[in-house]
Amino acid sequence: MSSEFISSQDAVPTPSVSKIPVEERLFSLVLALLATETGLTKNEVLATVQGYRQRYRAGGDNANLERQFERDKDDIRDLGVPLETVDSPGQSGNNQNLRYRIPRGSYELPDDITFSPGESTLLNLAALVWREGSLSGESRRAIIKLKGLGLVSDEPVLGYAPRIRLRDAAFEPLRAALERNAIVRFAYLKPGEAEARVRELAPLALVQHQGRWHLHAAEPGTEITKTFLLRRIVSQVTTTGATFPAPSGDQTAHALAELDEVWESHTADVEVVPDSDAGTRLLKRRGSLRLPSGVLRLHYSDVNIFADELAGYGPEALVLSPPALRAAVHSRLLRTVDEHAADPSTAGAPGAEGTNHG
Amino acid sequence: MAERTPPLQAQDKLAFLLSLVPFLMEHERISVQDAARHFAVKPEQVREAVKLIAVSGIPGETGQYQHGDLFDLAWDDFEDHDQIVLTNLVAIDDAPRFSGREAAALIAGLQYLSALPENSDRTAIASLMAKLSRGASALPSQFAVGASETDETLALIRTSVASGVQLQFDYINSRGEHERRRVDPLRIESMDADWYLRGWCHLREAVRTFRIDRIGNPTVTTEPITTHAADVHLPDTLFEGSANDLVVTIDVAPSAAPLLADYFTDGTESTLVGGRNRTELRVSHYHGLKRLVGGLPGMVTVVEPADARRAVRDWAAAGAARYEPANDIAEDAAAGDAEDAGQENDTR
């Protein structure tokens, strides 16, 4: 999305007779469409609005300018400006007679929406969370709008630097597809399976749960929903061209509730070395419990992911149950040993047990 | 903050224009400096925007942008005194709504921040989210962040940051060593589900980063902090390289590479070896490395140096041994392998 609007204005090789900046043209378009009750036809826009009219040729070919207008509409809508089209009376279906306008009621922030200085401070901090990807631009623009309300926030929240990562390459294309209710296709590698399988899905929500991004999606044409870890998407995400009806209800809440439910229902008993890194950190996971025996009862969502995490603790953590997790951690540790076997070229080092220093 | 404002894109500029107009309407007269400070932009950006607003308007009845169809400005005040006074207004009456995405970004940010102790009032957060939702021109798009529970340690640290007093706690570094640390807490940072404290460590006499989930028995002292955030350099990145770092060559599965991005040296080249990226990683010591690599089984292999391979192998082998019969004793765990007392960055 963002790359389109950055380049769109310069992409047109129109012999530019004037140097009217992009923002002036967009601003003038918003003003003109806000001011009209009945709407303006495309021709009226091109012929009269600042930034277009300079390049408009009466009775001539305005194809480039028309394309410019199409892109500008998208850019303006991207910003949350509700640009709408209305059929001219008795002329429905005739594209040339569509009229464009921005209804004031849906453009303006309702009067009763105000933010206290404390809320404004919090919103500024919430915007800081996004420092990468297109969401950093979205939150930056949200803050510009917030400041337009004339708010003065409390003193900035000193001492916080929160951030959420958007490192999964699948995030942006999925988010874009979600907004357009577009069916997506990608290859997904399920742990334990040797090969990735291509899936076609209706994306419903993107949620971060326990630090990882998940896609909540439906099998097209069915009510069956599934949750996918973005990290396991191993291909590019593409759209198939098909769309699906917009789902009703709060899909994110639904997805998070499901993930929470899974988290609650999966428990593992893990013996930890007292006062070790594992002992300290595992106990601080959400919902962890120390049993009278000293064993920790831990919650998790996914055997494979949790097995990875536990394998990192080496000898500090020993899974007692469930057996599947126990086996998964054991095999991971063996694999790591195997992959780090002493290099045969560095003289007759013994096997996996290795030699200790000194 | 102002020195870090990035150049505005066309959409940002439009958002700025549409927000600046109602702001100027509220303030009958305001200096360029004050407006710039309010929006956290350079004064020149405000001047440019005001000049543009002053010549903008609507085509009007005639389609000719007649005088009354344009905004107007008290030019003398503007040019001679850097003061902004709009004298004619058109089209815009009020501030614009948020877009669905903008509202969603803030809502998800708030969900994430609900872990902070000062946000323990969930009703207040919920009402703020509802306002954002209602103030958006479209349904906030469908992404969200699961709320985490408020952590007691975090609350305690927050208290000591806010009141400027020292904090004491037990800390286990990645070597598994315990120490009681006395710290001037400077900044609470986070990355997804992980929270960190940046502070001046009185034991090390340097700025250190502490994982909050490694902190035990924290107590807030009455001792004021001696080193303030303004006295030291707190880098933007959580993981800072140091001259003492050890460089390790690894093979990493392309899908796992983003997970290690913080440890890559700048300008690291990577070459494809057997479907994996061979690249270099910097770590402060092998104790952190063995945990990092051990936690990415099958995805990362240490190629060299041999010491590093051995550290990883021994760590995993000691772990695996616990799963084998008659070996179920944790006697050789973790302890006794503190061979290199290099500098630490106890984050992993």
Three-state secondary structure call for residue A175: helix
* Residue A27 to residue B56, Cβ atoms within 8 A: yes
Distance (Å) from the alpha carbon of B64 to chain A's nearest alpha carbon: 7
Out of A113, A354, A356, name the one closest to residue B134 (CB).
Answer: A113
Out of A79, A212, A357, name the one closest to residue B99 (CB).
Answer: A79
Q: In this structure, are B29 and B105 located in the same domain?
A: no
Distance (Å) from the alpha carbon of B175 to chain A's nearest alpha carbon: 9
H/E/C letters for each residue in B185-245?
Answer: EEEEEEECCEEEEEEEECCCCEEEEEEHHHEEEEEEEEEECCCCHHHCCCCCCCCCCCCCC
Preceding amide of A323 cis, omega within 30: no
Number of domains in chain B: 4
d(CA B186, CA B181): 15
Q: In this structure, are B134 and B81 located in the same domain?
A: no
Residue in chain B nearest A29 by alpha carbon: B58
Helix, strand, coil % over all residues of chain A, rounded to 5: 40, 20, 40
Burial (CB count <10 Å: 0-12, 13-18, 19+), residue B9: middle
Give the pLDDT confidence score for residue A156 in this predicted structure.
57
Residue in chain A nearest B160 by alpha carbon: A159
Residue in chain A nearest B193 by alpha carbon: A211
* Residue A123 to residue B142, Cβ atoms within 8 A: no
Distance (Å) from the alpha carbon of B243 to chain A's nearest alpha carbon: 25
Residue in chain B nearest A205 by alpha carbon: B142
**Which amino acid does the sequence have at B318?**
A
Which of A12, A329, A139 has its CA nearest to residue B103? A139
Q: In this structure, are B212 and B287 located in the same domain?
A: no
Residues of chain A contacting residue B213, judged by C-beta atoms under 8 Å apart: 280-281, 284-285
Residues of chain A contacting residue B318, judged by C-beta atoms under 8 Å apart: 314-315
Which regions of chain A are under pLDDT 70?
1-18, 88-96, 151-158, 192, 343-358
DSSP A248: P
Residue in chain B nearest A207 by alpha carbon: B144
* Residue B19 to residue A137, Cβ atoms within 8 A: no
Distance (Å) from the alpha carbon of A7 to chain B's nearest alpha carbon: 10
Distance (Å) from the alpha carbon of B261 to chain A's nearest alpha carbon: 10
Cβ atoms within 10 Å, residue A88 = 14
Give the pLDDT confidence score for residue B338 in this predicted structure.
33
Q: In this structure, are B13 and B79 located in the same domain?
A: yes
Burial (CB count <10 Å: 0-12, 13-18, 19+), residue A95: exposed
Q: In this structure, are B54 and B82 located in the same domain?
A: yes
* Residue A281 to residue B214, Cβ atoms within 8 A: yes
d(CA A74, CA A70): 7
Residue in chain A nearest B103 by alpha carbon: A142
Distance (Å) from the alpha carbon of B336 to chain A's nearest alpha carbon: 11
Give the pLDDT confidence score for residue B161 in this predicted structure.
87
Distance (Å) from the alpha carbon of A91 to chain B's nearest alpha carbon: 23
Mutate to test the interface with B, among A78, A141, A212 (most CBs of B within 10 A): A141
Cβ–Cβ pairs < 8 A, chains A and B: 414
CATH 2.30.30 residue spans of chain A: 171-255
Give the pLDDT confidence score for residue A234 in this predicted structure.
85
Is B339 part of any domain? no
Distance (Å) from the alpha carbon of B141 to chain A's nearest alpha carbon: 6
* Residue B161 to residue A353, Cβ atoms within 8 A: no
CATH 1.10.10 residue spans of chain A: 2-107
Q: In this structure, are B146 and B157 located in the same domain?
A: no
What are the angstrom distances between the C-alpha of A167 and each of A132, A170, A256, B256, B259? 9, 9, 20, 11, 8
Range of the domain at B312: 246-321
Query: What's this model's pTM, rounded to 2 decimal places?
Result: 0.84
* Residue B59 to residue A313, Cβ atoms within 8 A: no
Is B80 part of any domain? yes
d(CA A203, CA A33): 34
Residues of chain B contacting residue A128, judged by C-beta atoms under 8 Å apart: 109
State the Cα angle at B143 between B139 and B147, rounded to 5°.
115
Q: In this structure, are B26 and B65 located in the same domain?
A: yes
Give the pLDDT confidence score for residue B84 in this predicted structure.
96
Give the pLDDT confidence score for residue A173 in this predicted structure.
94
Is B329 part of any domain? no
Mutate to test the interface with A, among B1, B11, B111 (most CBs of A within 10 A): B11
Give the pLDDT confidence score for residue A20 in this predicted structure.
87
d(CA A357, CA B218): 35
* Residue B109 to residue A125, Cβ atoms within 8 A: yes
Is B238 part of any domain? no
Distance (Å) from the alpha carbon of A70 to chain B's nearest alpha carbon: 15
Give the β-pairing of A267-272 and A197-209: unpaired
Helix, strand, coil % over all residues of chain B, rounded to 5: 40, 25, 35
Structure tokens at A284: 């601080």
Q: In this structure, are B258 and B292 located in the same domain?
A: yes
d(CA B57, CA A330): 71
Sequence-ordered list of residues with C-beta below 8 angstroms from that of B113, at least 6 positions apart, any chain: A122, A125, A126, A129, A162, B119
* Residue A148 to residue B18, Cβ atoms within 8 A: yes
Among residues B67, B88, B109, the one where a domain terminates is B88
Residue in chain B nearest A22 by alpha carbon: B10
For the domain made up of A2-107, the CATH class stated in words is mainly alpha
Residues of chain B contacting residue A35, judged by C-beta atoms under 8 Å apart: 58, 90-91
CATH number of A171-255: 2.30.30, 1.10.3470, 1.10.4160, 3.30.420? Answer: 2.30.30
Which of B167, B149, B161 has its CA nearest to residue B187? B161
Residues of chain A contacting residue B306, judged by C-beta atoms under 8 Å apart: 342-343, 346
The ipTM estimated for the assembled molecules is: 0.84
Mutate to test the interface with B, among A100, A140, A303, A336 (most CBs of B within 10 A): A336
Which regions of chain B are under pLDDT 70?
1-8, 149-150, 174, 238-241, 243, 262, 265-268, 326-348
